[in-house]
A and B are shown apart, each in its own frame.
Chain A
């Protein structure tokens, strides 16, 4: 430990002002502060002691809360593969191994490309490297389909970091959630790799007879429109997978996440575990999480009440477990930078995300991807919500003065 510190100190002067590698100071600093909490002390006037929290610890908390989703996702990628190919006797570890083979490269690409981009920007713009990407770098793989080409991951990551974040001035300044920007980029730029039968990775094998790669979300969407069979959404979900994956889309199965989808978002249960970590540690806003679910449920109940087609009649609780709503609510909507920043605003922001998600799903069959678009839309509106909440605070003060 002392040796590492001494080594670091020995080379430090090269990166400091006047050193020959001065331009790379922030890259050096990022590595140094990763290994050692700095020895900087408080200013001579003002607080002389500081809370033990820092941004690194905040971000690592978010990453830890995503680990249940990641681990489950790795297994589920393999699980779905072997269901689709009809190899039902495959045991736990081969599934994990299969999942790892697909997932690890995506994670590596996401981190390597994203951090690389951040490092380049830190040199060009001379600003410290922010911990924000530690979270983004994990979120991006979790919202990718398992078979996504790695070059697309790289491209989306660069797009998200450069256009979604650095163009606005870096972490803390961005308007849109960075990971969702990456996902939305792929969704619109490479639709064929982001929709249809991409959610189960077949790896050139022939699927079993009758196999369909449709997700619960697409089953629900197909219950209305030209290919509708007149049955209710629930009936269609329950009869899905007959002959090769019976009962696959029964409610509890969807809740547990034994379904195809993006790598990390299928299991509502794992998301709830993550949510509990975020809420217990106070890192994620419980107000946003609760209000997204509430908004979706209220809107779902409302469409039930109209029920002019089968999708509208789908029981509201299904909206909460399909299509990554839970994942979006817990890990994307709570991003403090892009969410509403006032406490009252958080309720409104979350509730509208939930409502919009269901609206986009039910009323706009062109975009089954409700939660992604709802969050991005509300990211844009969050400052407006805050504007009114802050405005109310100002008005209270003004009113007090004139009474």
Chain B
């Protein structure tokens, strides 16, 4: 059933400070946060709890007025200590002071035979009530999956090709049974195929290679090879009017744990990595963890940027900020707020570039691990150089034209040029290599919002 898809385009960014495959010991963070902005399509969140309330792991704390059945739940048990709002009272964070011993809401457990007899609607009800549903992401737009829709297929990327990405075989080790149970539930949701996409280069994967009831696809190439959007494009592209769902293996495992153990289990292994980390390694924690305990006595210096997620698509957070809902990685790199005399012409081996313009010598050493900071390396300009975006995006998509269509708010062109097939992460490399320093991902999201709401 499996075949290998080889893609030539792309660019691997090798950064210093990759996490060692070692589970470190750190004190569990005191607080955890749930961040509504992690979900696109969650437009009218309504709180179900107040500051001072005690919650268990799995207690609903929020729902979306547009999809009232989908409950968002507390990742850990404890006292709700803070609700952070931004401009226009936008809900940013709900913080929970965690109990030392996590208590769980009791959900119904299902035996293997019960699962086999479960109807689609029963499965959906259980998923939406218990808080695991938001793990499903719907394309086009990369939004919260709509339980009233039936997707044509579900896609799971079983590897992450981003810089400093955690090794999925390591962080999901031992969860084979939960993963399979999760897949069995997902099968009820979809009429078509569940695609499980693995990296052809990874060593024999215990957890993914033996999964049943899925179509196993092997991918070979450079980043963004691990992006599910790229994989969809080559397996069964999204046409106008079609809907697919994607889910991270973590979500599948979480579903498996819910049905097997009857609890909302948000425990996960995360990587804390980057050039500014003393001991880059993995830690066990829960969704929405405050990152302070992992950085304590672990930073090489103080002038750093902490990122929830990876350096291409992540979100900057404070040193005591919180991990995003979907993230398995905290990246820490140097801040780049310095001037550099004649920085635009100095020859350099130290700064990574996809280009080879005069003085950019990183192409000579393809295996070097780079220490890159957050400097913009130039000023924003109109589009000038052409043909570069196309070299890093292994899809039959013309990114420059798509971006120009978005800037011109040309709905027909956005649609015709394939906006339904991409979300931010798929074009993140364009943003990295762009000579003219556009905020490509931001522009794309504006386009997605336009076409979704227009």
Q: Name A residues whose Cβ lies closer than 8 Å to a Cβ of B.
A: 1, 4-5, 33-58, 60-61, 64, 128, 130-132, 169-173, 280-283, 285, 336-337, 339, 341-343, 346, 390, 393-394, 396-398, 400-401
B374 touches A41 (CB 8 A): yes
In the complex, 21 of the A-B residue pairs with CB atoms within 8 angstroms, ordered by the A residue number, are A33-B379, A36-B341, A37-B343, A45-B314, A45-B441, A49-B311, A49-B312, A50-B376, A50-B432, A51-B354, A52-B353, A52-B360, A54-B379, A58-B384, A169-B382, A171-B382, A281-B356, A393-B417, A396-B396, A397-B418, A398-B416
Which residues does chain A contribute within 8 Å of B437, judged by CB atoms? 50, 54
State whether the Cβ of B237 lies closer than 8 Å to any Cβ in chain A: yes
State whether the Cβ of B401 lies closer than 8 Å to any Cβ in chain A: yes
Which residues does chain A contribute within 8 Å of B400, judged by CB atoms? 341
Write the chain B residue with the least CB distance to A63. B358
Which residues does chain B contribute within 8 Å of A337, judged by CB atoms? 384
Given A35-B342, A37-B377, A38-B376, decide whether A51 and B352 contact each other with a Cβ distance below 8 A.
yes
Q: Which of B57-65, B260-268, B330-338 contacts A (4 or more CB under 8 A)?
A: B330-338
Which residues does chain B contribute within 8 Å of A36, judged by CB atoms? 339-343
CA distance A389 to B420 in the complex (A): 20
B336 touches A39 (CB 8 A): yes
A41 touches B376 (CB 8 A): yes
A37 touches B435 (CB 8 A): no
A57 touches B359 (CB 8 A): yes
Question: Count of chain B residues with Cβ under 8 Å from any Cβ of A?
Answer: 75
Q: Which residues of chain B from 425 to 441 have any CB-CB distance to chain A below 8 Å in the complex?
A: 428, 431-437, 439-441
CA distance A346 to B376 in the complex (A): 30
CA distance A281 to B354 in the complex (A): 11
State whether the Cβ of B1 lies closer than 8 Å to any Cβ in chain A: no
Which residues does chain A contribute within 8 Å of B312, judged by CB atoms? 47-49
A61 touches B358 (CB 8 A): yes
B345 touches A60 (CB 8 A): yes
Supplied contacts A52-B360, A54-B378, A171-B382, 13 more A-B pairs, CB within 8 Å: A5-B339, A36-B342, A39-B337, A40-B376, A47-B431, A48-B312, A54-B344, A55-B379, A57-B357, A128-B381, A169-B382, A341-B400, A401-B241
Write the chain B residue with the least CB distance to A37. B343
State whether the Cβ of B222 lies closer than 8 Å to any Cβ in chain A: no
Which residues does chain A contribute within 8 Å of B403, judged by CB atoms? none
B339 touches A130 (CB 8 A): no
Q: For A37, A47, A128, which residue has the most chain B Cβ atoms within 10 angstroms?
A: A47
State whether the Cβ of B383 lies closer than 8 Å to any Cβ in chain A: yes
State whether the Cβ of B307 lies closer than 8 Å to any Cβ in chain A: yes
CA distance A213 to B354 in the complex (A): 48
B428 touches A46 (CB 8 A): yes
CA distance A378 to B345 in the complex (A): 33
Which residues does chain B contribute within 8 Å of A128, judged by CB atoms? 379, 381
Q: Name B residues whose Cβ lies closer than 8 Å to a Cβ of A.
A: 13, 237, 239-241, 305, 307, 311-316, 331, 333, 335-345, 348, 351-360, 362, 372-379, 381-387, 390, 396-398, 400-401, 416-418, 424, 428, 431-437, 439-442
CA distance A57 to B240 in the complex (A): 41
Please give the distance in Å from B217's CB to the nearest CB on chain A. 18
Please give the distance in Å from A357's CB to the nearest CB on chain B. 22
Please give the distance in Å from B172's CB to the nearest CB on chain A. 25
Which residues does chain B contribute within 8 Å of A58, judged by CB atoms? 355, 357, 384-385, 435
CA distance A44 to B373 in the complex (A): 13
The 5 closest A-B pairs by CB, nearest first: A54-B378, A37-B343, A172-B382, A401-B239, A52-B351
CA distance A131 to B357 in the complex (A): 15
CA distance A51 to B382 in the complex (A): 17
Which residues does chain A contribute within 8 Å of B313, judged by CB atoms? 46-47
CA distance A170 to B432 in the complex (A): 24
Partner among B337, B373, B387 whose Cβ is within 8 Å of the Cβ of A49 = B373
Please give the distance in Å from B227's CB to the nearest CB on chain A. 14
Which residues does chain A contribute within 8 Å of B381, judged by CB atoms? 55, 128, 130-131, 171-172
B398 touches A401 (CB 8 A): no
Please give the distance in Å from B243's CB to the nearest CB on chain A. 13
CA distance A45 to B338 in the complex (A): 20
B377 touches A54 (CB 8 A): yes
Which residues does chain A contribute within 8 Å of B436, judged by CB atoms? 55, 172
CA distance A346 to B387 in the complex (A): 10
Write the chain A residue with the least CB distance to B413. A394
Write the chain B residue with the least CB distance to A393. B398
Q: For A1, A58, A281, which residue has the most chain B Cβ atoms within 10 angstroms?
A: A58
Which residues does chain B contribute within 8 Å of A48, judged by CB atoms? 305, 307, 311-312, 314, 316, 331, 333, 374
Please give the distance in Å from A109's CB to the nearest CB on chain B. 25
Which residues does chain B contribute within 8 Å of A46, judged by CB atoms? 313, 424, 428, 431, 439-442
CA distance A132 to B384 in the complex (A): 9
A56 touches B345 (CB 8 A): yes
CA distance A132 to B377 in the complex (A): 18
A61 touches B311 (CB 8 A): no
Given A40-B379, A343-B390, A393-B396, decide whether A57 and B442 contact each other with a Cβ distance below 8 A.
no
Which residues does chain A contribute within 8 Å of B335, judged by CB atoms? 41
Partner among A40, A54, A342 whose Cβ is within 8 Å of the Cβ of B435 = A54
Which residues does chain B contribute within 8 Å of A346, judged by CB atoms? 387
Please give the distance in Å from A179's CB to the nearest CB on chain B. 15
Please give the distance in Å from A350's CB to the nearest CB on chain B. 13
Please give the distance in Å from A388's CB to the nearest CB on chain B. 13
B417 touches A394 (CB 8 A): yes
Please give the distance in Å from B352's CB to the nearest CB on chain A. 6
Which residues does chain A contribute within 8 Å of B375, judged by CB atoms? 37, 39-42, 50
Write the chain A residue with the least CB distance to B335. A41
Write the chain A residue with the least CB distance to B348. A52
CA distance A36 to B428 in the complex (A): 27
CA distance A169 to B381 in the complex (A): 12
B439 touches A43 (CB 8 A): yes
A172 touches B384 (CB 8 A): yes
B356 touches A282 (CB 8 A): yes
CA distance A397 to B420 in the complex (A): 11
CA distance A172 to B377 in the complex (A): 20
Partner among B311, B314, B344, B396 whose Cβ is within 8 Å of the Cβ of A57 = B344
Given A50-B432, A343-B390, A390-B417, decide whether A56 and B382 contact each other with a Cβ distance below 8 A.
no
Given A282-B355, A400-B237, A400-B239, decide whether A51 and B442 contact each other with a Cβ distance below 8 A.
no
Which residues does chain B contribute within 8 Å of A44, judged by CB atoms? 315-316
A61 touches B336 (CB 8 A): no
Write the chain A residue with the least CB distance to B361. A52
Please give the distance in Å from A130's CB to the nearest CB on chain B. 7
Write the chain A residue with the least CB distance to B337. A39
Write the chain B residue with the least CB distance to A128. B379
Which residues does chain B contribute within 8 Å of A34, judged by CB atoms? 344
Partner among B352, B360, B387 whose Cβ is within 8 Å of the Cβ of A285 = B387
Given A48-B305, A130-B381, decide whether A53 and B387 contact each other with a Cβ distance below 8 A.
no
